Amino acid sequence: MRCPFCENADTRVIDSRPTEEGQAIRRRRECDNCNKRFTTYEKVEEMMFMVIKKDGSREAFDRNKVMNGIIKACEKRAVSMASIEKIVDDIERGLNNMMEKEVESHLIGEVIMEHLKELDEVAYVRFASVYRQFKDVNTFISEIEKLLGRDLPRKKE
């Protein structure tokens, strides 16, 4: 491991311990040349997979896209960043555990909605309205009825 201060290639590990989540190893290192200390993290390299978009095109999975979509849905809601990060971690871990090289985008969207339904119903409806491209108010009402598990009285047209 190269020293970030002097670029020396000879460093030694002083201390090693798992992170709080247990997903990585934190290592304190010391440079043999300049004697400065720094921290590195070692974690298992996740299998990268491709996302098959609605139009059939493919792109690499981007964790930040998932994060940004959830953040936008949770905007001005009492949802902590820690909760959002946990959802994104769970989604990414679940997709990696599928061991597929390609995953359809609609599957990712459905998984996000399931998590949001448990986290915050307003965020769920916000995400669903964009993801499912609600065309009118009736579609919106229908989704809320499903969420509530009952039929709401409708205004006669």
pLDDT of residue 47: 66
Residues of the chain with confidence (pLDDT) below 70: 45-47, 150-157
3-class SS letters over the chain:
CCCCCCCCCCEEEEEEEECCCCCEEEEEEEECCCCCEEEEEEECCCCCCEEECCCCCEEECCHHHHHHHHHHHCCCCCCCHHHHHHHHHHHHHHHHHCCCCEEEHHHHHHHHHHHHHHHCHHHHHHHHHHHCCCCCHHHHHHHHHHHHCCCCCCCCC
Q: Write the pLDDT tens digit of every residue in 5-19.
A: 999 999 999 999 998
Mean pLDDT of the chain: 87
